[in-house]
Each structure stands twice: as C-alpha cells, then as structure tokens.
A = this chain, B = another copy of it.
Amino acid sequence: MEYIKDLKWKKGINVKDLVEQLGNVGFQSIELKRASNVFEKMKMAGAKIFFTFTSNMVTSGLRGFFAQLINLKMANVIVTTVGGIEEDIMKAHGEKFQMGRFDLDDLELKEKGLNRIGNLLIDNQSYLILEDMLNEMLKKCYEKQKRWTPSELFREIGLMLNDENSILYQAAKNNVPIFCPAITDGAFGFHLYMFQQKHPDFMIDVIQDFKNIVLCTSHDEKKGIISLGGSISKHHAILAGLINGGMEFAVYMTTAEQKSGSMSGATTREAKSWGKIKDESDAATVIGDVSILFPLAMIHALENLIENKIIN
C-alpha cells in the first residue's frame, strides 16, 4: 500500500528528487513517476526501444534532448512525421526559430513571413534554405542509387550533417533507423516531387521500409515504446511491435484523450485488447504537454540509470 505524501521544497532541490516526491503527490504526477520507472525498466531489461514523436516537438527545443537520448542509447528505433525531419535539417544548418505567443495576429505574421506553430514561429527564409539543402542532398543520394527507402535516405542525410544536437546526425552515427511512413507529407514531399520530375527513375519505396521496421526486431527480443504525442508515428511503432508479438514496455505521453476514439488518444490499456502491448507489460499513460512532462520523467530515469551504471 502506498500513501500520498506532502511535497516539500528544499533549497537547490534537483530534478531527480522532485520527481521522486511527485510520485506520491497525486493525479498526473503519480503517472509521471510511473512512466519514469517504465523508462528505467525497459533500459535495464535491454529492450529495443521504439521512440516516436510528432514534428512539433522538433520545432521545440526538445530536439536537442532527443539527439542526446539517441547518443545515450535510450532510443533504438525512431518513428516520426516528415515535418520534424525538415526542421531538424534547418536547425542543423543554424536556422533559429522564434518564441511567440498563441494569440499573435496571424495576418500580421504572414506579412512578416513568419509561420506559427502554437507559440513558436518559423521564418519563410528557413524553408528556402531547406530547399537548397535538400536539392543538393537528393542529388548526392541519387548519384549513389536510384531507389531509396525513407529510412535509408534519412540516414544518408544524417551523415551529411554535422551537429551534435541533430536527431538525424545522432541517429546516423548511432545506427538508429528513422522511419517515416508519410515521407511526402510536407515540404520534403514537394522537393521529392520536383526531383522526380527531373529524374523519373528516382523512386521512394515505402513498402521496403515497412519490411525494414518489421524486421528490425523480433518476437524473441524484448521491446519497449516511448510514444510522445499521437499520429501515425505512434501507430506505426506499435504496429511494428504488434507484428512482433507486442511490446513488453510502453509509455504514452500526450494531450489527446480516449473520448473520441482517436489513435492519438488511445491508452496503453486499449492497446492490450489488440495485443499491441503484452498483457503483463509495464505500461503508463500520462496526459499533458510533452514539453514539460517528458524531460522531467526522462531526467529522473537517466539519473537513476547513470547511478546504476546502465548508461554513462
């Protein structure tokens, strides 16, 4: 039997100790601590960790943290949407995104060439730079071969970048495949289309990448998923897990809830009816904004893992 305990601040308190206390506070803070424990367990068990996130998190400063996690071997397979790939490349080039507000005047922003994503702003200029970069990169790739799967393409691009904070760079360096089942759904798609117009034998083979994600693990291997936000990145990873017998460990963090039956809001409990997550799995669902919840829960886990010499 565990009991609620009064939270007390001590001067200079570190994140690990705060999350430890939050585990006995109540409501989502309890779920947060549970999630942190699942992070630790999946790493301790040597599970293959599927790490999924939506592109808005790459727009945010979580991007550098994700890159760090890849380097710490906390993410072994990545699934995301193509917007995040685009923005990681922009940032690797040095593009900076501005902080804004949710209630800025959108017509004024448009006149200034600023595109709003919640309370963040991306300059049109960054998209022009992306265009130049992608044209160059696709040319180099095409010289190597005509037919690419998305994950092979992202790896090749990652090798061309040189930024420790880049997700593509760290993934390439650490042999972590990045899957993106909807590679055309963004500016990237537009540039692929333009490129194919000039080079009709240039092909993206999405079916092969389905094979790649399915075969990147097995029934015998222990598997875990860390799913941030919803969308196809979440679905695609748990589908790959399902085909391989289901995940042993699962954490979902998102603002979406199950009321409308969406994939994004589906809980780890629902996943059990599908066999997407194994019956006996360690699972936690935390509802809220990933930009706050995830660093807290993950840092708590990292501090424990480093203490136990699981990571270094």
Contacts and interface: CB of A to CB of B under 8 A. Distances in A.
A142 interface: no
Contact of A60 (B27, B97, B186, B289): B27
A2 interface: yes
Interface stretch (A37-45, A112-120, A129-137, A216-224): A112-120
A247 interface: no
Interface residues of A, number: 127
A33 to B, nearest CB: 10
A182 interface: yes
Nearest to A206: B184
Contacts of A236: 182, 185
Contact of A259 (B2, B28, B229, B293): B28
Contact of A119 (B3, B30, B118): B30
Contacts of A256: 255-256, 264
B54 A274 contact: no
B65 A291 contact: no
Interface string A60-83: 111111011000000000000101
Contacts of A117: 261, 266, 270
Q: What are the 10 tightest A-B residue pairs by CB atom distance, in nearest-first order?
A: A6-B64, A26-B60, A118-B261, A28-B289, A182-B182, A25-B61, A29-B291, A109-B273, A106-B273, A181-B182
29 contacts: A2-B98, A4-B59, A4-B60, A4-B96, A8-B64, A9-B302, A21-B61, A24-B61, A26-B60, A26-B62, A26-B118, A27-B120, A27-B289, A28-B259, A28-B291, A55-B263, A56-B260, A60-B261, A110-B275, A114-B273, A116-B273, A118-B258, A120-B261, A182-B182, A190-B210, A203-B203, A204-B206, A229-B262, A255-B259
Given A3-B97, A27-B291, A31-B119, 18 more contacts: A4-B97, A4-B99, A6-B91, A7-B61, A9-B302, A12-B16, A22-B291, A27-B259, A27-B261, A28-B291, A117-B266, A182-B185, A184-B209, A185-B236, A190-B210, A229-B260, A260-B291, A287-B289
